Amino acid sequence: MLSGSLTTFLEGFTMDFSWTILLVVVLVNSLWMAAMFATQQLDKSLPPRNSVIPGTNQKFLYFQDFWTMTWGDAIGVALINTAFVHLAVNGCLGVGHWLVFATLVIAFSLGFAKMCMGQNHKPDMGFPATGEISPIGILHLPYFGFGMVAGAFCISFVFTGDLRGPVFYVGFGGAAFYALCFVAEVKSGNFDPLKII
């Protein structure tokens, strides 16, 4: 009897995990990343990879030079988005949630663009000069906004008790992995501001 009660109690703290959702999210994420990479490779207006940014001793970085845009996006963002899609499929998001989600995706995307087009941003393949955005930069904006807001929603749904069980661990694992990539980015100097000599 105690075993049955405990099982019933624990079922309230789990959310069914779907391998199908994981595979679909990984596929869509991989296709978007491939589109960004291909866009970068086809853009002949970009300075050569690892060329020195004029007036500095810093290198011009491409997609594949960033921990967060390669490993972080391929694994971390895919797992975070998997948790978010589980929430959506399980009916945890109402119309109000979706309106807030869309508004925040636009706000995060525009905020990121404003930051990266600023004077202190070190040019890279997405923002090759102050005030400029490249085709890969444009393609990256909604990807960035979606990932940031999906992560924020996942955190909020942990506190409501809706994100739990195996799905929680998938999302948490993705966030932890992305955080490690972010730390590697900072330590490598990839996120350093522009340093004019």
Q: For the chain, what percent of residues have pLDDT higher than 70?
A: 93
Global model pTM greater than 0.75? yes
Check the CA dihedral 98-101-106-107 and report its sign. Answer: positive
Q: For the chain, what percent of residues have pLDDT higher than 90?
A: 92
Contact 117, 123 (CB under 8 A): no
| Any domain includes 149 | yes
| Any domain includes 17 | no
Give the pLDDT of residue 9. 41
| Any domain includes 7 | no
**What's the pLDDT band for 7 if we cut at 50, 70, 90?**
very low
Name the token pair of 119: 């004077």
Name the token pair of 24: 């679909």
- CA 101, 103, 106: angle at the middle one, nearest 5? 105
Give the pLDDT of residue 38. 98
- Per the document, the length of the chain is 197
Q: Which residues of 25-49 are buried (b: 16+ CB within 10 A; e: fewer)?
A: bbeebeebbeebbebbeeeeebbee
| Any domain includes 193 | no
| Any domain includes 147 | yes
| Any domain includes 179 | yes
Average pLDDT over residues 96-101: 98
Contact 32, 25 (CB under 8 A): no
Does pLDDT of 8 surpass 80? no
Average pLDDT over residues 29-55: 98
Q: Which residue has the tokens 């009897």?
A: 1
Give the pLDDT of residue 15. 75
| Any domain includes 13 | no
Provide the domain limits for residue 35. Answer: 22-44+52-188
| Any domain includes 15 | no
What are the angstrom distances between the C-alpha of 193 and each of 56, 121, 170, 190? 11, 5, 33, 9
Domain count, the chain: 1
